[in-house]
């Protein structure tokens, strides 16, 4: 999948220095609250991208992961 190649390059992720995934649980604390609230709204609207037969657990996991990655990107690249 081309996205697996392009996204790390776009985000300037160095494969030699993997992301500490445990730090993602609190990454939302590193972005301003008004930005975080907008991220939550945007993520809630994005649920339509899941298959219709997705479980509540899958939907929640999707929301959590998407929120974390958006917060991480905005923390790492505040000019965005």
Segment 1-57, tens digit of pLDDT: 888 788 777 777 776 666 677 778 899 999 999 999 999 999 999 877 788 899 999
- pLDDT at residue 16, as a whole number: 60
Please state, as a whole number, how many other Cβ atoms lie within 10 Å of the Cβ of residue 68.
19
The reported pTM is: 0.75
| 9 contact partners, CB below 8 Å, separation of at least 6 | none
Please state, as a whole number, how many other Cβ atoms lie within 10 Å of the Cβ of residue 15.
6
12: left (phi over 0), alpha (psi -120 to 50) or beta: left
- pLDDT at residue 77, as a whole number: 84
């Amino acid at each position: 999948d081309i996205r697996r190649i392009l996204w790390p390059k776009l985000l300037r992720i160095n494969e030699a220095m993997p992301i500490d995934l445990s730090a993602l649980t609190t990454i939302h604390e590193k972005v301003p609250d008004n930005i975080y609230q907008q991220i939550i709204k945007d993520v809630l609207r994005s649920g339509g991208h899941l298959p219709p037969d997705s479980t509540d657990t899958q939907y929640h996991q999707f929301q959590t992961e998407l929120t974390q990655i958006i917060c991480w990107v905005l923390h790492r690249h505040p000019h965005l």
